[in-house]
Structure 1
Amino acid sequence: MMVTFKSSAAPDVLMLRDLAQYLLGLVGKRLDARGVILHDELPVAIRRLETAIADEERTERVLEAFQHSHGGQQGPAGNGLSRRAWPFLDMMREAQKQSADIIWGL
């Protein structure tokens, strides 16, 4: 199932339900049939998502260093959180700039 995020500040963002549920959880929201991130909630939501991305990137670097030091094979470049979250994060940043809300629906 797909979830569509909409804002007057940015093009629609369409993503799979599981990813939408995960990203919304990171920013302190629940995936319901419909929902909203109000413009005054965006600074905290953006900060939470950026922190989660930074934490994942830090963990990946440590894991890569560990694998390299132990002669392990380096895995292929992953499809990490920063790549998967980028359209949503970009929408949140644009909505914040324009004091716009973000709504979603299933």
Structure 2
Amino acid sequence: MLITFKSHAAQDLIMMKDLAMTLLGIIGKRLGERGVITVEELPTAIHKLEAAVADAKAHPASSAVEADTGNDEDEEEPLHLGQRAYPFLDMLRASQREGANVMWGV
């Protein structure tokens, strides 16, 4: 299932439900049918997401390392949280600059 995030400050952002649940969980939100990250919540949400990305870079997931057996040279490296969270972080930052809410399910 796809979730579309909307803000007047940025283009619509479409992501898979599992990623949306993960990113919203990091910032203390739950994925419901509809939701909003208000302008007042944006600074805290950005800080929490940036901290999670920094922590993920400092402590790479052991499952990603274990999955690399070296047998398949064409196998791509899995995306880390920073790569997956960047578009959402970009939307949050743009929304903060413009004073716009971020919504989904509308």
The TM-score with structure 1 as length reference comes to 0.84
Unaligned runs of 5+ in 1: none
Matched position secondary structure for 2:59: helix
Matched position secondary structure for 1:60: coil
Q: Which residue of 1 aligns with 2:98?
A: 98
CA distance in 2, matches of 1:105, 1:24: 14
Aligned length: 97
Q: Which residue of 1 aligns with 2:48?
A: 48
CA RMSD of aligned residues (A): 2.1
* CA displacement 1:46-76 (0-9 Å, x = unmatched): 0000000000000029x7xxx9xxxx97x96
Q: How does 1:80-99 map to 2 (within 5 A)?
A: 80-99=80-99
What one-letter code is carried by the residue in structure 2 that aligns with 1:35?
Answer: G
What is the aligned-residue identity percentage?
47
The TM-score with structure 2 as length reference comes to 0.84
Does 2:92 correspond to 1:59?
no
Flag as ranges the 4+ runs of structure 1 deviating above 6 A. Answer: none
CA distance in 2, matches of 1:105, 1:85: 19
CA distance in 2, matches of 1:36, 1:30: 10
CA distance in 2, matches of 1:87, 1:76: 20
Q: Which residue of 2 aligns with 1:27?
A: 27
Q: Which residue of 2 aligns with 1:12?
A: 12
Shift of 1:78: 3.1
CA distance in 2, matches of 1:27, 1:105: 18
CA distance in 2, matches of 1:26, 1:83: 15
* CA displacement 1:13-54 (0-9 Å, x = unmatched): 000001000100001100000000001100000000000000
CA distance in 1, matches of 2:3, 2:49: 18
Unaligned runs of 5+ in 2: none
